[in-house]
A and B are shown apart, each in its own frame.
Chain A
Amino acid sequence: MSDERALIDRLASGDESVFDALARLYERALYSHAYRLLRNATHAEDAVQDAFLLAYRGRAGFRGGSFKAWVFRILTNRCLDLLREGQRHATVPLDPPVDTEEEAPTSETVARGPSVEEVVTGNVLLEEVERALAAVPLEQRLAVLLRDVHGFDYDEIARITSAEIGTVKSRIHRGRLAVRDHLVAKGWRSAGNPETGAGVGR
């Protein structure tokens, strides 16, 4: 997006009036990320607001490059702080927290596996993917979200999560396997997999 590029360049050169425009570009992506980490709509809203405030206050520290990665790092750290605080005070286990907010997806069991091609428009499988994610351990879930949902590359993920590249690789892989296992347990079958049966399961 050349518009975004222009905004970023202006921010990097000290024009802070574009901050709000940039923030609005990423508001939903950030909220989605926070929600999938915290599993609570109110906490997620607070985390994103905190992240915006922290980002604005620290805007001098943005030297260009990926604004998205920069603000995602701030948000991720904020979410992890909130989770650690919650763990200290609450009796709810850190991993995985049960979401009881009104946005909790309706629980429907997935019938035997529609394949990806069949499901691009359907929501049932995606709801199951959300549920699968909620069951993935936090650090793996975080890596998978950053990689597959938000499209960051391994270097950016390493910077966002303050981890080594090898650790990032391992977490992404294990996170994907965890999602896969959950889906398979619900009857999902991958299309074109000769070992688990016919291509399109029903």
Chain B
Amino acid sequence: MIQHPQEQLSAYLDGALAAAERAAVDAHLAVCGHCRARLAELREVSKLLAALPKLAPRRSLVPRRLPAWLVPARLVSGLATAAFALLFVVNGVSALGPAYAPAAAPAPAALERAREGPGAPAAPAPAAPTPAPVPAAAATATADQAASPKTAEQRTAAGAQPSPTPTAALGVTESRATPVPRGTAPARELGFADRDQQRVSVPAWAWLVAALGAGALTFGLHRAITRRRS
């Protein structure tokens, strides 16, 4: 009895047999119903498998190319963040420093020295709110009086010009309204109000905002890059 083909049946089905082998299986199938039935079964299983649907992934799996500008953009943005942060620190420190350092304590001593005579070296005044009400009160008082020493004292306390002027009211007005030239000793003693008037560049907080904005941009670009690379 001819041996029934086993594996050859599948290969026969798939057309993977050499010519001679194929002929032998043909001959066997002609006389063997059992093998014909098994061949039919194999054919149906094969068709069922071929009918299986293609499964779909939950997301796209094709690699996304990194746009060429992303990495350089992140670098520039990162440098900008660092630059803005540095500018903020530099400006912030210089804005806050002088106002706090020599401000409060020596003020009473300065007032005393001013009382002793005009022309005495002007001392740093206390913080902004204080000089304003003092000259205001002094102006009213001075207008009624003509006493020179008091005038000089008031003017010095408000940080006015070192030389006394003939009219008290004029002196007080000038000290409140006119910006004092930079670089002079009195100028350094001024409070916040005058400091801002001298400043022509960007305020410190603007650098902070810029640094935060650039930082957010850098972070966003970094996220975009790593997401595509993963």
Q: Which of B11, B33, B61 contacts A169 (CB 8 A)?
A: B11
Distance of A149 from chain B, by nearest CB (Å): 5
State whether A190 touches B44 (Cβ < 8 A). Answer: yes
* B178 at interface, CB cutoff 8 A: no
- Rounded to whole angstroms, the CA-CA distance of A18 and B122 in the bound complex is 80
Q: Which of A1-9, A29-37, A60-68, A84-92 contacts B (4 or more CB under 8 A)?
A: A29-37
**Which of B49, B51, B53 has the most chain A CB atoms inside 10 A of its CB?**
B49
Q: In the complex, which range does the number of interface residues on chain B fall in?
A: 20 to 34
Q: From A195, which residue of chain B is reached at the shortest CB distance? A: B37
Q: Which of B2-36 contact A (CB under 8 A)?
A: 6-7, 9-11, 14, 16, 33-34
Q: Which of B50-65 contact A (CB under 8 A)?
A: 50-63, 65
Interface size on A, residues (CB 8 A): 52
Distance of A99 from chain B, by nearest CB (Å): 12
Q: Which of A100-115 contact B (CB under 8 A)?
A: 103, 115
Q: Which of A168-196 contact B (CB under 8 A)?
A: 169-170, 172-173, 176, 179-180, 183, 190-196
Q: Which of A28, A129, A169 contacts B54 (CB 8 A)?
A: A28
State whether B55 touches A49 (Cβ < 8 A). Answer: no
Contact A154-B55, Cβ < 8 Å, known A116-B44, A173-B6, A179-B49 = no
Question: Which residues of the other chain, B, contact A23 by a CB distance below 8 angstroms?
Answer: 62-63
Question: Which residues of the other chain, B, contact A32 by a CB distance below 8 angstroms?
Answer: 52, 54-55
* A95 at interface, CB cutoff 8 A: no
Contact A195-B34, Cβ < 8 Å, known A27-B57, A31-B57, A116-B44 = yes
Contact A180-B42, Cβ < 8 Å, known A49-B61, A173-B7 = yes
Q: Which of A20, A28, A130, A170 contacts B63 (CB 8 A)?
A: A20
* A78 at interface, CB cutoff 8 A: no
Q: From A123, which residue of chain B is reached at the shortest CB distance? A: B53
- Rounded to whole angstroms, the CA-CA distance of A149 and B16 in the bound complex is 17
State whether B63 touches A49 (Cβ < 8 A). Answer: yes
- Rounded to whole angstroms, the CA-CA distance of A116 and B65 in the bound complex is 44
Distance of A28 from chain B, by nearest CB (Å): 4
Question: Which residues of the other chain, B, contact A35 by a CB distance below 8 angstroms?
Answer: 55
* B41 at interface, CB cutoff 8 A: yes
State whether A20 touches B58 (Cβ < 8 A). Answer: no
Distance of B87 from chain A, by nearest CB (Å): 42
Q: Which of B41, B50, B65 contacts A149 (CB 8 A)?
A: B50
* A81 at interface, CB cutoff 8 A: no
Question: Which residues of the other chain, A, contact B47 by a CB distance below 8 angstroms?
Answer: 116
* B130 at interface, CB cutoff 8 A: no
State whether B62 touches A148 (Cβ < 8 A). Answer: no
- Rounded to whole angstroms, the CA-CA distance of A173 and B4 in the bound complex is 14
Closest 3 CB pairs of A and B: A148-B49, A173-B10, A32-B55
Give 10 new A-B contacts, CB below 8 A, not counting A31-B54, A172-B14, A194-B33: A28-B55, A31-B55, A41-B58, A52-B61, A103-B55, A119-B48, A154-B14, A169-B7, A179-B48, A190-B37
**Pairs across A and B, CB under 8 Å, 14 listed:** A20-B65, A24-B62, A35-B55, A44-B57, A56-B63, A103-B55, A126-B51, A126-B52, A153-B14, A154-B11, A154-B14, A169-B16, A176-B46, A191-B40
